Amino acid sequence: MSTLPLIYDQSMEDLQSIIQSWDEPAYRASQIWQAVYHRLVHTPEEMTELPTALRQRLAESFDFGAYEPMRCVRSKDGTTEKVLLALNDGQSVEAVLMHYDRRQTACISTQVGCAMACTFCATGQMGLRRNLSAGEIVIQALHFARQLQREERRLDNIVVMGMGEPFHNYQSLAQAIRRLNHPQGFRFGSRRMTVSTVGLIPGIVQFGNDFPQVNLAISLHAATNELRNQLIPANKRYPVEALLSACRAHVDRTGRRVTFEWALIQELNDGVGHAQALVSLVKGLRCHVNLIPLNPTSTYPGKASSPTHCDEFVRLLSKHGISNSIRVRRGLDIEAGCGQLATSS
């Protein structure tokens, strides 16, 4: 495995400084940046606009690794693909590509494992191995973008909902968003990106200041501290009342609605009382509730709510004017659904 620094970990300013130190014209940095992020090349040899000597020096100085997957699996219905990407230190990370009728969505990771220990999440059950660098986050999106480019399709949405808690690795997350959004590079629109958090309030505040146009999603799953403490240990530090206050401030600051994610777990958080508590919690807040029947994991005994309970939950939210939808569960046969990502390496 390469010991060279990842090209994807370099900012435009970093590249400009390096190129100038090599006594090359400053505009060469822009050419390299656009080749990597716009044309999606992953070897210096493909940068034919550059002199041969510069291409050779780039190859000697940086890892342009295409990061071919160690494993790639596709769901039986063809709507979901999951890849296991090897990292340079022997660790690995999973990422998912979801195909919809008119859009393609990449679900990418920010950590190997996760420290949040949410009880129903396979990644949380792994524990935290390490944070990903900004380049290691970016390369997941570029991997799928290259694949779709070969298929004459494009990547339409990026959701940072894979392995890890994004705000627990905020600096790398922020750099990755800037790389993906850069007007001279990948040029991926802010409003086509969504970041999901279990509710780390300092991260929510910083995120709203730094990226007011990027969508925010909150893994909520319970409307009371008693139940949420059981499901999401981070709630003990950032309880529901404080979290919702931060969400209201975020909406006021950005003008963007917040999405709340709610895994419907049989006889745990899917009753009439739970729906009513959620209504009371979010009433008047510009938000949308994404409901999804629980995806199974090997070490959590909970089961998905029945269709009847799901429908009743939706009916109660809708009755009170709370925007909501039930997400179709995807990729269960390849363990690519929400909360199912994990690696054994």
Count of CB atoms situated within 10 Å of the CB of 71: 12
Inter-CA distances, 298 with 12, 120, 335, 343, Å = 43, 9, 10, 13
Contact 108, 179 (CB under 8 A): no
Phi/psi-derived region of residue 113, left when phi > 0, alpha when psi is between -120 and 50, beta in every other case: left
Choosing from 107, 247, 287, 338, which is the catalytic residue? 338
* d(C-alpha 147, C-alpha 153), whole Å: 9
- Structure-token match 């129903």, residue found: 120
Could you tell me which residues come within 8 angstroms of residue 11 by beta carbon, excluding any fewer than 6 positions away? 175, 178, 179
Active site residue 247: no
* d(C-alpha 169, C-alpha 112), whole Å: 11
Contact 122, 339 (CB under 8 A): yes
Choosing from 24, 81, 94, 261, which is the catalytic residue? 94
Angle formed at CA 249 by CA 182 and CA 200, multiple of 5 degrees: 70
Active site residue 72: no
Angle formed at CA 79 by CA 75 and CA 80, multiple of 5 degrees: 55
Please identify every residue annotated as catalytic: 94, 338
